[in-house]
Amino acid sequence: MFGLVPRQTQICLYSKENWNTILEKEKLDKRMTAFFKPKTRKAHILKEGNDHLHQDIFHEYLGHGLLSEFHFLGFPDNELAKYVDDPEKKEREKIRDVLHNRHGTLFKHKEGFANWIESHLCDLFEIYDRIKDKELPEEVTEIYDQLNTIKNTYGAPGVVWHLGFPKIYSKENLCMLVNKYFGEEVDMALVHGSMLPYSDLDIIVTMDKPKFVPKEHKWLDAYVTTPWDFEKRANLLDIFITNGIFAGQAIINSGSLESYRESIKKKYISKEAIEYNSIEGQRHYSVAMNCIPQSPEYRHAMSYYHSYTNNARLLSSGIKTYTLKNLLEATRVRI
């Protein structure tokens, strides 16, 4: 699923006789055909005479299995504590709250996701989707509907990334998201940034009529502009744009990306390019001064200020760094 496989989760299939025995042991409803045990990461499923075997596998093994292995909502308590301390993970306060409230609203989120996974895969493999004919609890339906809304807007990968699952930056996943949200009008799209599993997804998209991404979607940081503006800023050796070109990877139209790389390497450092980067640095500094000191917005603006200002200084010395990594190294050497 989107590059994620629940490798630690085991599927246990049962005959009718053995199924009745385990239901009695677990004190579960005899009408059940499947259930998941988070502590052992086992999906227990009735095989014999089960008309919805594939649906149960989708729901328990992939739905709850993915949650159990990749998302804090499904982690066993002992693993959740380790997750909170991992320096790469974000929203630790939110996760700590979960440690103190493991049962509250978790059911609706877990079942909502498992039902969405089941329904999505049934559509994908063109088999009967029982979720559409099933009367789910109201709170589960609410989550299920929310996830479908996200899917209809950003594509299926957008659902798991929106929920905070680790990102697998495959071209298939990225193309699915870009095509679903931005449509066929995209001229070029590239992914850049750290590209770590739990970091924001940083993309640059060019299109004649830019379609912007709402800021509340914090998992997706998209810079969208026209091809004309992108080319103009590339020619001015805008460090943000050149970093995307040289450190990024093409999602759509790789030919344009290669063309830009060759063009920029040959580009003469103009006085206009130096002034442009200097002015951009001052603009971001002004933004920072209007932010709360040390707030995320302040640190973000100051980061841009330092990048543009240092790029202007290096350009004035005849040095093109192209990427933020090279810029940082060159700045340290000069210091």
Q: What is the pLDDT of residues 163-172, one digit of tens each?
A: 889 999 999 9
Tell me the average pLDDT of the chain: 88
Nearest residue to 203 (alpha-carbon basis) of 250, 168, 158, 170: 250
Cα 162 to Cα 41, 111, 169, 186, 196: the distances in Å are 24, 17, 14, 22, 15
Question: Quick one: three-class SS letters along 189-220?
Answer: EEEECCCCCCCCEEEEEEECCCCCCCCCCCCE
Question: Is the model's pLDDT at 104 over the cut of 60?
Answer: no
* 3-state SS class at 320: coil
Q: What is the pLDDT of residues 196-237, one digit of tens each?
A: 998 889 999 999 999 887 776 778 899 999 999 999 999 999
Q: What is the pLDDT of residues 309-334, one digit of tens each?
A: 999 999 999 999 999 999 999 988 65
Residue 22 is predicted with a pLDDT of 94
Percent of the chain with pLDDT over 70: 88
Asked if 49 and 15 count as a contact pair (C-beta separation under 8 A), the reply is: no
Q: Average pLDDT, stretch 47-69?
A: 94
Question: Is the model's pLDDT at 74 over the cut of 90?
Answer: no
Q: What is the pLDDT of residues 179-193, one digit of tens each?
A: 999 988 999 999 998
Q: What is the pLDDT of residues 233-276, one digit of tens each?
A: 999 999 999 999 999 999 998 888 999 999 999 989 999 999 99
Percent of the chain with pLDDT over 90: 68
